[in-house]
Amino acid sequence: MKVELRGRKIAIIGGAGFIGHTLGLALKEQGAQVDIIDSLQVNNLLWFASGTNDPVNRELNLRMINQRLELLRTAGITVHPQDARDYHALSRILDQVKPQVIIHLAAVSHAGRSNKDPYSTFDHSLRTLENALDCARSSGVEHFVFLSSSMAYGNFMTPSVDEDHPLNPIGIYGALKVAGEKMVIAYQQVFGLPYTILRPSALYGPRCVSRRVIQIFIEAALREQPLRIDGDGAERLDFTYIDDLVHGLIQAVARDESRNEIFNITYGNARTISEAVELLRLHFPDLKVQSVARDELMPFRGTLRIDKAVRLLEYAPTHPLEVGLPKYVNWYRSLLSEQSVPSGV
């Protein structure tokens, strides 16, 4: 059964990030009442503006983040600049907002960074989740949505996997995602808090600053630098355009069939890294490639089967790599054109 989204009160924790701001805008278009709670610290405004680190393309990334915040402001979506690690502050905001649905996105969404700084990753990923769950169960929230990851599976035992594949994560990021899933399920068991858990894979799309693979490739191509590929390029990833993930998230919120279920939300067809490079070469004919040693803490993955989401959520992704990648490249070029700078980043 479909739930009416118009007027529905939805709080997105970690909602000023890549996924969250895109989702918030889409939910607002559906008529939902959206509030975003975000510290703006992790891969966000304060991280890039602080000057205490030297991320690649700081100025470009700041432009993307400011674009996110302006889009949210223009849409009339309230952003509460609050660190969700503060239980009492988070509780006060949720008491004020009174959401029917909480969507929890807060995390350090970078596997390599998670392994280098496990304490901060735990704090921003699991501490925020525990606070959100505890606030939710005591404030009458009807539905709790948690964004997990394909990294929860670890090395795929078969070329394609469904939601019943064993969870054997490698490294801090995947381990915390599995721990988060178990916490969400436990709160349903103990307190009756309905949940939905979603597992995306290899996301890409406009205003991403998370150093995901397609973002890294396009920015290197724009700088006329070689693409650094782990291994021989034969590795397969289920690349997922942001609009498809947002569609899956909205369907999970809107349909009762999602309650107390776990779903893969990807395009549903893994492609090799080499295939992605060749599609990118159509836009950058002089593209050069450099092979580097593979990160041993990255699991070998593949296709995430989406049959369950198609059946129960009427999930229908529309962006194979041939569609999503050109849209992303054109968005980058449009952004740089607005800056009135040369084609290099």
Instruction: Please report whether residue 237 resides in a domain.
Output: yes
Q: Who wins on pLDDT, 296 or 261? A: 261
Instruction: Please report whether residue 63 resides in a domain.
Output: yes
For 66-116, what is each residue's pLDDT tens digit?
A: 999 999 999 999 999 999 999 999 999 999 999 999 999 988 766 556 666
Give the total number of structural domains in the chain.
1
**pTM, rounded to two decimals:** 0.93
User: Dmax of the chain from CA atoms?
Assistant: 58
Instruction: Please report whether residue 1 resides in a domain.
Output: no
- pLDDT at residue 2, as a whole number: 74
For the ranges 85-94, 161-170, 186-195, 284-293, the lowest mean pLDDT is seen at 284-293
* Model confidence band, residue 62 (pLDDT cutoffs 50, 70, 90): confident
Instruction: Please report whether residue 4 resides in a domain.
Output: no
Return the CATH number at 42.
Answer: 3.40.50.720
For 205-264, what is each residue's pLDDT tens digit?
A: 999 998 899 999 999 999 999 999 988 889 999 999 999 999 999 999 999 999 999 999
Instruction: Please report whether residue 345 resides in a domain.
Output: no
* Model confidence band, residue 345 (pLDDT cutoffs 50, 70, 90): very low
Q: What percent of the chain has pLDDT over 70?
A: 90
Instruction: Please report whether residue 2 resides in a domain.
Output: no
Instruction: Please report whether residue 34 resides in a domain.
Output: yes
Residue ranges making up the domain that contains 158: 9-339
Instruction: Please report whether residue 155 resides in a domain.
Output: yes
